[in-house]
Structure 1
Amino acid sequence: MPDLVGLHGWPALVALAAAAVVIGFSKTSFGGVAAISVAVFAFVMPAKESTATVLLLLIVGDLVAVARYRRVRWRLLPRLLPAVVPGLLLGALFMNLVDDTVMKLTIGGLLLVMVLIQLRPRLRGRSQRRVSSDEPPHGPTSAAAGPGWPVQIGAGVAAGFTTMTANAAGPFMALYFLAARIDKMQFIGTNAWFFCIVNISKVPLAASLGLYTGEGLWLVLLLIPLVLAGTVVGVSVIKRVSQRQFEIVTLVASAIAAVSLLVL
């Protein structure tokens, strides 16, 4: 086992431990807060290697979320997942071409862009607010497969690229799933299955890029219990919040992570 304290120091390890709890918490509640963990790991570790370490921790949270949330809009997944593949390949190629500094700036930039994408409809007024988590899906279109194929392809490619390069596709998927007019619990269940499938498929790509290190794997083993603890907290908290609170926390967390990576 490597000397993780010697490599990083206690303050950094404490920050990683907190980030692991946040990863678990995000998988069973506010998905966007995982962006903070992405930023923390990118600060403490080399940015590229950090994405591989975060990926394994995310998969742990994904498995818990899949087991916990059974309400899923299954029709959305087969129309969306094929478009993710080109995005994953583009992301893997990009990671192989850029250095660590560019990678860190890319993570921050992607997070910030996705925050702005989510803010835009809110700044245009309340009249087009998305369906509340407490409201059931409305009308016959609520049972449809979701937005049309151009939106599906765009969301899938964007999600594939951003999740491969920054583990940060959550905001894109939030937009897509909310556009499909599904309630909060169905949103979390569908989101869990989507990212479980996508994240597992990313493992061979990350390995082919040489991103898994002994240090990173030891960190994963040490942090898994904290991820699991975070999932328990998330399950408890999400029952007590409204959709409005859900969206605000997600956006603020993503914005903080983005700015910190771009400025610091």
Structure 2
Amino acid sequence: MELSQTSWLLAILAALAVGMSKGGLSMIGATAVPIMALSMSPVVAAGIMLPIYVVSDIGGLIAFRRSFDRRVLATMVPGALAGIGLGWATAHIVSDAIVMLIVGLIGLAFALNALIRRGGGTARAPRFGAGSFWGMISGYTSFVSHSGAPPYQVYAQPLQLSSTAYAGTTTVFFAIVNAVKLIPYAALGQLSVDNLRISAVLIVPAVLGVWLGLKLLRIIPQKLFYKLITLALLAVSLRLIWSSVATLAG
């Protein structure tokens, strides 16, 4: 598959965003597939980006190997694995546009609530029931379009982890999810030779993005950090809603 200059530019921007998300600016990564979908099929974009996520995860895991919350992972990972399995089982039934619409609406509702409410409220403790539910939604939507971040944030942000622990827990969670996704993606033919060749080129901007994300994370205050990821969630959610509605209407 040959990409146009515009497609390559968008793909490089998407890879940079993925790398930055693994460097701690987690919500930015959710923009990758929507960015690439401006010039190609979301299914193709998802197949190209998965190896980029996996490679970027390695850098993120090294950077945050001591900064993550095991309790959060224990409550979310089992549900996420179930969500991936559900996505694989229904891959030929549910359209990408419908899933993107659901993700966008969830993210929009949460972002607006976070921006409108006063104060941060009392921090919640990790709970297996809630973690399993949102983990399953995150695993499912991540399988379909790498858009698992909004459901993840609905559960994780009210826990009020430190910015570093939040970034590290997010990185480890999605590293597990992305590694598991390689199996069904390969089985569904989304890791074709052509896609992998494009992915290989995009590894360079992705690695650069990890470094840039780490630099920005260290200089951004915690309150501003949460404000930025909430605004990023709002922007991504609106973009997902717009794209899905346009697809369904067309």
TM-score range, shorter chain: 0.7 to 0.9
Question: In the aligned structure 2, how far is the partner of 1:21 from the partner of 1:233?
Answer: 9
Compute the displacement of 1:107 (Å). 5.0
| Match in the other structure for 2:225 | 243
SS of residue paired to 1:228: helix
Q: Which amino acid aligns with 1:183?
A: S
Select 2:93's aligned residue among 97, 103, 113: 97
Q: Relative to 1, partners in 2 of residues 1:73 and 1:108: Cα closer, same or farther, differing over 3 Å?
A: same
Contact 1:36 1:256 in 2 (8 A): no
Structure-1 separation of matches of 2:93 and 2:112: 32
Provide Cα deviations, 1:198-245, integer angstroms capped at 9, x if missing partner.
110110011111112222101110000110011111111122222344
Aligned to 1:52: 47
Letter of the 2:146 counterpart: N
**Cα deviation digits, residues 88-116 of structure 1 (max 9, x gap):** 11111222225xxx32x235313412322
Q: In 2, are the aligned partners of 1:20 and 1:37 still within 8 Å (CA)? A: yes
Per the alignment, residue 162 of structure 2 pairs with 183
Distance 2:6 2:112 in 1: 37
Give the AA of the match of 2:156.
F
Match of 1:108 in 2: 100
> Which aligned pairs between 1:12-51 and structure 2 lie closer than 5 A?
12-51=7-46
Contact preservation (8 Å) 1:20, 1:224: yes
Corresponding residue number in structure 2 for 1:257: 239
Q: Is the CA contact 2:80–2:135 (under 8 Å) kept in the aligned structure 1?
A: yes
CA contact (8 A) 2:21 2:27 kept: yes
* TM-score, normalised relative to structure 2: 0.87
Structure 2 letter corresponding to 1:202: K
The answer as to 2:150 corresponding to 1:171 is yes
1:76 paired with 2:78, answer: no
Residue range with higher mean Cα deviation, 33-42 or 150-159? 33-42
Map of 1:110-259 to 2, 5 A cutoff?
Answer: 110-122=102-114, 125-127=117-119, 129=120, 146-241=125-220, 242-259=224-241
Q: What's the CA shift string for 1:108-157, capped at 9, x where partnerless?
A: 31341232232243255214x267xxxxxx7xx8xxxx332321221121
Amino acid at match of 1:21: L
Separation in structure 1 between the aligned mates of residue 85 and residue 36 of structure 2, nearest angstrom: 23
CA distance in 1, matches of 2:235, 2:52: 19
2: distance between equivalents of 1:211 and 1:243? Answer: 34
Amino acid at match of 1:116: L
TM-score, normalised by the number of residues in structure 1 = 0.83
Query: Is 1:88 aligned with 2:84?
Result: yes
- CA root-mean-square deviation: 2.2
Distance 1:216 1:44, change over 3 A: farther
CA 1:29–1:120 in 2, change beyond 3 Å: closer, same or farther?
Answer: same
- The size of the alignment, in residue pairs, is 242
Query: Is residue 114–residue 230 contact of structure 2 (8 Å, CA) maintained in 1?
Result: no
1:61 Cα deviation from its structure 2 partner: 1.6
Structure 1 moving runs of 4+ over 4 Å: none
Once the two structures are TM-superposed, the CA of residue 260 in structure 1 deviates from its matched residue by: 4.5
CA distance in 2, matches of 1:116, 1:253: 8
Q: Which amino acid aligns with 2:101?
A: G
SS in 2 for 1:43: coil
> Contact 2:75 / 2:131 at 8 angstroms: preserved in 1?
yes
Is the contact made by 2:26 and 2:171 (CA closer than 8 Å) also made in structure 1? no
Flag the 1:82–1:159 CA change in 2: closer, same or farther, 3 A. Answer: same
What percentage of residue pairs aligned between the two structures are identical? 19
